[in-house]
Chains A and B, each alone.
Chain A
Amino acid sequence: KQEVTQIPAALSVPEGENLVLNCSFTDSAIYNLQWFRQDPGKGLTSLLLIQSSQREQTSGRLNASLDKSSGRSTLYIAASQPGDSATYLCAAVIQGGSEKLVFGKGTKLTVNP
């Protein structure tokens, strides 16, 4: 059974700092791994999707890496801004065509001005 763990559960940083969020998964047989952002009272917004054959994806100040062999992914946020404050979720899509997303509990990020 795939389990996804995110560390830390919460993180508070000053504005402008670079930071890394961690995600680990127990079963390396994933189709892809996705990072989402969840704002209070709003739905999830997809940030980055990394295929199992890829090692990283970049979008603006965000960079996500994937190491299937070690069962880990990281989300790097450069030059953090108060608007980045949200809960960040990673989710693994189980291989085999089931299309199921298995989520971690998330990391709540607070960027202080």
Chain B
Amino acid sequence: GAVVSQHPSRVICKSGTSVKIECRSLDFQATTMFWYRQFPKQSLMLMATSNEGSKATYEQGVEKDKFLINHASLTLSTLTVTSAHPEDSSFYICSARDPRDNPGGLQETQYFGPGTRLLVL
């Protein structure tokens, strides 16, 4: 199956700094990638949908100026947490659709990365 990687796997930073997380589709080109956040004992919550070459679509309540998403190529999307604060500490996970799975139709399967654990001190 399709493989999605994330880097870094975990990061610790000081409050006020910015952190960039990379999401890569390794063996396919992903026109659409998704960014999720998971707090302890909570559901994965969709933060934004990232489309290659266009602006990301953010879910209600997610600050687009704080969580910058760049999908500059068909294999790479980045999430930058700007001016991170302790409440941003969470597990961030991305996913991507492989257009080969269902060409021309609603693409159903999302392939998930291993996630990035962010701790802001």
Contacts and interface: CB of A to CB of B under 8 A. Distances in A.
A106 B110 CA distance: 18
B114 A104 contact: no
Interface of B: 4, 6, 9, 32, 34, 41-46, 49, 93, 95, 97, 106-115
A105 B113 contact: no
A98 B92 CA distance: 21
Nearest to A105: B43
Contacts of B44: 44, 89, 91, 101, 103
Contacts of B4: 43
A104 B44 CA distance: 8
A37 B5 CA distance: 17
A44 B115 CA distance: 9
A49 B45 CA distance: 19
Give the top 5 A-B pairs by smallest Cβ distance, nearest first: A43-B112, A44-B112, A43-B114, A103-B44, A103-B43
A105 B42 contact: yes
A93 to B, nearest CB: 7
29 contacts: A32-B108, A36-B112, A41-B114, A41-B115, A42-B114, A43-B4, A43-B6, A43-B93, A43-B112, A43-B113, A44-B93, A44-B95, A44-B112, A45-B112, A46-B110, A49-B108, A49-B109, A91-B44, A97-B106, A99-B32, A99-B106, A100-B46, A102-B43, A103-B43, A103-B45, A104-B43, A105-B42, A105-B43, A106-B43
Looking at chain A's contact residues, the main secondary structure is: strand
Interface residues of A, number: 23
Contacts of A101: 34, 44, 46, 110
